[in-house]
Structure 1
Amino acid sequence: MSQTETFSGGSKAFHWVAAVLVLLMLYGGFNLSRETATWHFGFGLIVLTVMVFWLGWRMSKPRPALPPMPRWQEISAKSVHHLLMLCVTLQPIFGLMMVTTSKREPVAFGVIPLKIAQNDTINGIGNFLHGVNGRLLLALVLIHIAAALYHHFVLKDNVLKRMLPFAKG
């Protein structure tokens, strides 16, 4: 694989940090309890921070070109990637809409107070959007993983290898 075919170390780091966080957050979100909520809120803030920096990184660094593939796959790949970035960025924002306007006194990591002012309307909108976006995010993650595995095991191309943490460029 040439350097132009693989992602930079920074891009790989952002991808895998975000991937681990998103998987943890999806698991935690679908299994939320009073005991785990404070961690979910805290890691949501970290996800938002990672995404802001990653989006800045992506705008300043060229991405390697996609390998040759049918046009429908190229459109699908770009669509899923853009939707993933959008949904992962919006998810903590929708979460903040909920917790900052909650009736309760939510805290992140047990120490960072998140409530600004109770507002049932904004809370309800945030709750709805967080739920819908979370399900869409799960679907996109599954599509993304399935596509990477399809490229690796069926097509046997370098699509997955170029994003693996220790793959050489």
Structure 2
Amino acid sequence: MTDTAAAMPSFATKIKTLHWAIAVLVLIMLYGGFTLSRETATLHFGTGLVVLVLMVIWLALRGSSPRPAYPPMPRWQEIAAKATHHSLYALVTLQPIFGLLLVTTSKGEPMAYGVIPLKIAQNDTLHEIGEWLHAVNGYLIAALVALHVLGALYHHVVLKDNVLKRMLPFAKG
């Protein structure tokens, strides 16, 4: 590990906490979305709302607290890292919105956690648009999550810098 990598500051605890909470929920939601059943749909809908609220909080905190600088790396890697991060922020925030478009216009009576009614009015056209956007966006999120994880592991295993460590919940960067 280089002196520069050792000196890289860690992320704020609140950012780390939200990052890992959202990461776990996104993985659960991806799995749930690809294996969705009538029995699990109400949990999927409710957890999607939780992800949306957490993303809004995370974006507000992220916008108000400085991000630690990227370590020295080739320009193309920095561009790829920024593009991946910003795409994840946007797509994970949009996913529950697309899900809401899908469920609020459905034929059924969708409920979040079995208690919060989500239907506004049936509209087959909007429902199909929401269904398509939600599905395509889900695949894009899965691809970006894989890219993000591979990038973090590349830094940790190959470059042996602190990029991953500074985002780990109990690590001191």
Deviations 1:83-139 (A, max 9, x none): 000010000000000000000000010111000000111111100000000000000
Q: Where does 1:132-151 land on structure 2 (aligned, <5 Å)?
A: 132-151=136-155
Give distance in 1, aligned partners of 2:34 and 2:155: 29
Q: What's the counterpart of residue 46 of structure 1?
A: 50
Residue 23 of structure 1 pairs with residue 27 of structure 2: yes
Q: Which structure 2 residues correspond to residues 1-169 of structure 1 after superposition, within 5 A?
A: 1-2=6-7, 5-169=9-173
- Deviations 1:33-84, CA, capped at 9 Å, x for gaps: 0000000000000000000110100111000000101101000000000000
| Alignment length (residue pairs) | 168
Q: Tell me, in whole angstroms, the C-alpha distance in 2 between the residues paired with 1:108 and 1:163.
A: 31
Partner SS for 2:20: helix
- Tell me which amino acid in the other structure corresponds to 2:72: P
For 2:162 and 2:75, the matched residues in 1 are separated by: 18
Equivalent position of 2:3 in the other structure: none
Query: Percent identity between the aligned chains?
Result: 68
Counterpart CA distance in 2 for 1:36 and 1:46 is 16
Residue 168 of structure 1 and its aligned partner are, at CA, apart by 1.4
Structure-2 separation of matches of 1:84 and 1:73: 16
CA distance in 2, matches of 1:136, 1:63: 24
Alpha-carbon distance in structure 2 between the residues aligned to 1:135 and 1:160: 24
Q: Measure how far apart 1:5 and its partner are.
A: 1.7
For 2:163 and 2:76, locate their aligned partners in 1 and report how far apart those are by CA, in whole Å. Answer: 16
Cα RMSD, aligned residues only: 0.9
Structure 2 unaligned segments of length 5 or more: list them: 1-5
